[in-house]
Amino acid sequence: MIGRLNHVAIAVPDLDAAVAQYRDTLGASVGAPQDEPDHGVTVVFIELPNTKIELLFPLGEDSPINGFLAKNPSGGIHHICYEVDDILTARDHLLTKGARILGTGEPKIGAHGKPVLFLHPKDFNGTLIELEQI
């Protein structure tokens, strides 16, 4: 059901410092900051030859990233994202297997302009998983 690894998301306490580190220290190709109000984050994508790194920074006081950074003040891996052919088919399959979908269970549009869903980390070895329709 899952396809390629789309990205690994890292929550960061200082977006400018993280961007500079990837761009200047690691020599990576860094995109522009992009606000995602529906998800409460500002994202920056780092383009790698085989995948992407998504830097996550809180957008507003209600951002889910605030809680993560409160527990992990230096930042850290927040989630991994896998591609799926059809997000609704994937959701329905997962529900029959007992997996929990976060939120309403209806896909939202993600940072790439495609439908996404998040799976409860307690169902996947403590890892928050994002599914993105290709």
Tens of pLDDT, residue by residue over 83-107, are: 999 999 999 999 999 999 999 999 9
**Dihedral of CA 92/96/97/100: which sign?**
positive
CA distances from 87 to 22, 36, 106, 110 (A): 31, 20, 10, 12
Tell which CATH classification among 3.40.50.300, 3.10.180.10, 3.40.1440.60, 3.90.1150.10 matches the domain 5-133.
3.10.180.10
pLDDT at 2: 96
| Catalytic choice (54, 83, 130, 132) | 130
Verify whether residue 130 is a known catalytic residue. yes
The list of the chain residues with pLDDT below 70 reads: none
What predicted TM-score, i.e. pTM, was given to this entire model?
A: 0.95
CB atoms within 10 A of CB 15: 16
